[in-house]
Amino acid sequence: MGDNIYLGDRDAVRTPMQWTPDRNGGFSSGDFAQLYLPAQMDPVYGYEAVNVESQLRNPGSFLHWVQNMISARKQHSVFGTGDFEVVDVANEAVLVFLRRQQRDHPSEDGQLTDIVLCVNNLSPDAQPVEMDLSALDGKRPVELFGRVPFPRIGQLPYFVTLPPYGFYWFSLVDELGDDLK
């Protein structure tokens, strides 16, 4: 959104913000020729087609996707401060890792471990992956964005198929809360 590769130097990525489909993308009501840099006029990526106002109205927009990613990051501090552990898999196109973090919890032992499993397809093709997660036997993966529970982890290899450049981020839980049953 907003890039104009025909402008020199870094100006290509400094075009006016595309707020609305209105004149100059809602960035300025001034004359087009008086802007420091021209508004993006591309029929696919220009301000009339891609702008904040239209992205806010579309729950499937890139803006909403980014907001959901930021929300997941804020809800799971393990992404920023947890331990990082790579999970070895045979498929070189797939990166799998765990993030773990101990935190205080008002329970018998006073500690709770947050665990997030990240499974990432780095390929333009759908990819199957088998993971040895037997050390996490009994945990149930719950997909972070849709809150969809997956089958419990057991002693056998755990298998998922990822779409091209797809990913799953799972919170690993002991029991499903009432909202997921």
The pLDDT tens digits for 6-63 are 788 888 888 888 999 999 888 998 888 888 888 888 888 889 999 999 999 999 999 9
Joined together, the tokens standing for residue 74 give 């804020």
Contact yes or no for 27/16 (Cβ under 8 A): yes
Residue 66 parent element (H or E): helix 62-75
Fold entry, domain 78-173 = Immunoglobulin-like (2.60.40)
pLDDT band (50, 70, 90) for residue 105:
low
Contacts of residue 147, Cβ cutoff 8 Å, sequence gap at least 6: 179, 180
From-to residues of CATH 2.60.40.1180 in the chain: 78-173
pTM of the model: 0.77
The pLDDT tens digits for 89-101 are 999 999 999 999 9
